[in-house]
Structure formats: C-alpha cells, structure tokens
Copies of this chain bind each other. A is one copy, B any other.
C-alpha cells in the first residue's frame, strides 16, 4: 500500500521530486512507519523501479504473445498503451530519469533481449513485406506506436498551454486518438 501510494505520486501525479515525507503523508502514515517496511528511501525506489519495469514488460508480453491477427493485435496494443498512459502518464519518465540520475548502477534494465519482442518484430516485418504497412524498419513501427500513444499525455500540461485546451477538451482529444492512431499506422 505504501508502494502503491508511491507509484501514484510518481507515475500518476508526476511529482518526481517527492520526498519520503510526501509519500508518508499521502499514505496517511508516519515517515517512521515507511522506514519500518523499507529500510531506506533507495530501497523503496528500487522496488518501485523494478516493478514498473515488470508491469511494462508484462503487459507487452501478454499482448504480443496472443494469437490475434496482426491488425487486431496492434489495435489492442494501441488501446493498452493509451489506457496505461492515461492511468500512469509519468511512469516511463520516472524510469528514464532514475536511470539517468543514477550514479551508482542501481537502476538498470535487465539485459535479456526479450523473445516475445523479437517475435513481434518478425510479425511486423512480414506485414511490411506484404505491403500492409508503409516500408520501414520494424522497430520504427514499434517506436511510432509508443510515441503516438504515450507522448501527448506525458506533456499534457504543455499541450494544454500551447493550444489553449481545457482539461475537458484535451480529454476528448485523447479519446479520439485510438481510431486516429490505428488509421495512421495502416496505410
């Protein structure tokens, strides 16, 4: 529950500078209690970091493994990414900034080239050869999916400012995006 509160603060609220006090307050416990379960801040952070990596990877795995026809799989992938990003817009950025700020080597990704990802890249490759997708490196296709689904929500405060969008209007735009993104990917 402490962990979940921390995730809420980091992944949903985007308060990447949150202190143990901030987390304890949000969890309605004393900071000492937090230290009872996590010897140090770093330990909590490592835990949150690793689970975030696994959550991300797990969802990818589940989907890429499925036996759906390619286009449906991509549609599901877009939906999944959109929903995940709506719930945790700042999770990716948490991972990245922790990795970059990490002087010791505590925050790292595991090094295995995940087989389900390889397999899915192969699928993409086939679709490109079949002419169902614009010609490009398969990784680029993946990168495009991720960018189109994740980025807008990540920088929503900027978009709202630049384009003068109310929360409501922005939300409506995001809901339109699923269809739009799939259309962009296939033609």
A interface residues (Cβ-Cβ under 8 A, vs B): 13-18, 90, 92-93, 95-97, 99-101, 109, 111, 113-114, 117, 121, 134, 136-137, 139-140, 142-144, 146-148, 150-152, 154-155, 157-159, 161-165, 173, 176-177, 180, 183-184, 187
For the complex, what is the distance from the CA of A2 to the CA of B158, rounded to whole Å?
26
Name the one of B101, B113, B157 contacting A96, with C-beta atoms under 8 angstroms.
B157
Across the interface, do A16 and B101 meet the contact criterion of CB distance under 8 Å? yes
Across the interface, do B101 and A17 meet the contact criterion of CB distance under 8 Å? yes
Q: State the main secondary structure of chain A at its contact with B.
A: helix
What are some 24 contacts across the A-B interface (CB < 8 A)? A14-B96, A15-B97, A15-B100, A16-B17, A16-B100, A16-B101, A17-B101, A93-B97, A93-B154, A93-B155, A95-B158, A96-B155, A96-B158, A109-B161, A117-B162, A117-B163, A134-B183, A139-B163, A143-B173, A147-B147, A147-B148, A147-B150, A147-B152, A150-B151
Across the interface, do A157 and B17 meet the contact criterion of CB distance under 8 Å? no
CB-CB under 8 A from A97, the residues of chain B are 14-17, 90, 93, 97
